[in-house]
Amino acid sequence: MPTPDPWYNGAMKTGRIIRSLAGYYDLMLSDGSVERTRARGQFRKNGQKPLVGDWADFESENGEGLIWSLHPRENSLVRPPIANVDLAIVVTSVIEPAFSQNLLDRQLVALEAAKVQPVLYFSKLDLLSETDQVAFQKQVQLYETIGYTVIFSKDDWRNTFQSLLKNQVVVVMGQTGAGKSTFLNELAPNLKLAVGEVSQALSRGKHTTRQVSLIPVKVYQTLIADTPGFSSYEVFDFPAEELGDYFPEIRRVAPNCRFRTCSHLNEPGCAVKEAVELGSISAARYNSYELFYQIIKGKRPVYQKNSSKWKQDRLN
């Protein structure tokens, strides 16, 4: 640990960063109190940046604090920028904005790579007709088959989350306009977060959440992060050869491939391709894998932005 500046003569403290804004970091201590700090210039020189969720050692005097060191991270996400997350609730809109399986799979890959447990929450199901609700639920059953927890907005989801969230650090993430703030307000009404309207012309939401912050929610004994939304998601900061590890269904089958270095694209004796042909691996999920592999390798094919296949099938 670096030697403290003589300006500080208080004892070193430890807290978790719960908010970052304009160069200031708010740290929550074990007793629930919050102190505002800045980071030492040495972090910038070393190419480090404190993240919301980081544990940090700091000193403070007369209401001014300075972060001296960060504890090792268990994990971290790039989008949203947050560290030491236990659970990620991926809020995905069924409609307005239209459901995109491609976007959902991108988020799941990023969470798998960061070793963060995902929970899928599908919002706005009530905006569909009963027939379309059944069709949509049937389509996304594949995620339950893979092993993900899937929750719909029409379910009795509060009781489900009661057990999932206890004593967890939780990030709520999703596309702009998907309904993250609405979901959080229903989950914990005391939060009173701003809720934006979705633009019909652009099928995008107004940015009502502009920063990452961890909010204590006593009823669940947890810290929940509401995060900025996004209209696209391209975070693949790992080699293409690792991609299969972040698709659980591919990871389970890949050891049966003829070649240990199988990319699951064109090689003979590929157990993954065989599983796709037999239907035990979803063709739609495999298409996401193939697309992401090409993106990582620098081949960016043109693909249909709106992947609401269940709706397309009904129109054909």
pLDDT digits (tens, 9 = 90+) for 254-311: 999 999 999 999 999 999 999 999 999 999 999 999 999 999 988 554 444 444 444 4
Extended strands (E) in 62-193: 64-70, 76-77, 82-83, 87-93, 117-123, 149-152, 169-174
The torsion angles phi and psi of 210, rounded to 5 degrees, stand at -115, -5
Q: Where are the domains of the chain?
A: 13-70, 76-226, 240-315
CB contact at 8 A, 150 and 140:
yes
Residue 14 marked as a ligand binder:
no
Sign, Cα dihedral of 209, 215, 221, 222: positive
Residue 244 marked as a ligand binder:
no
Residue 221 marked as a ligand binder:
no
Residue with tokens 């940015």: 207
Tell me what the mean pLDDT of segment 44-50 comes to.
Answer: 88
Residue 180 marked as a ligand binder:
yes
The DSSP element (H or E) to which 59 belongs, if any, is strand 55-61
Residue 2: predicted pLDDT: 41
Residue 194 marked as a ligand binder:
no
CATH dotted code for 240-315: 1.10.40.50
- pLDDT surpasses 80 at 197: no
Residue 284: predicted pLDDT: 95
CB contact at 8 A, 161 and 187:
yes
Residue 222 marked as a ligand binder:
no
CB contact at 8 A, 138 and 153:
no
Q: In 3D, which of 152, 135, 168 has the Cα closest to residue 91?
A: 152
Mean pLDDT check: name the lowest of 203-207, 208-212, 249-253.
Answer: 203-207
Residue 179 marked as a ligand binder:
yes
Residue 270 marked as a ligand binder:
yes
- pLDDT surpasses 50 at 194: no
Residue 92 marked as a ligand binder:
no
The CATH class of 13-70 is mainly beta
Residue 263 marked as a ligand binder:
no
Q: pLDDT tens digits, residue range 235-264?
A: 688 999 999 999 999 999 999 999 999 999
What letter does residue 67 receive in the DSSP assignment? Answer: E
CATH dotted code for 76-226: 3.40.50.300
pTM to 2 decimal places:
0.81
Residue 155: predicted pLDDT: 79
Residue 257 marked as a ligand binder:
yes
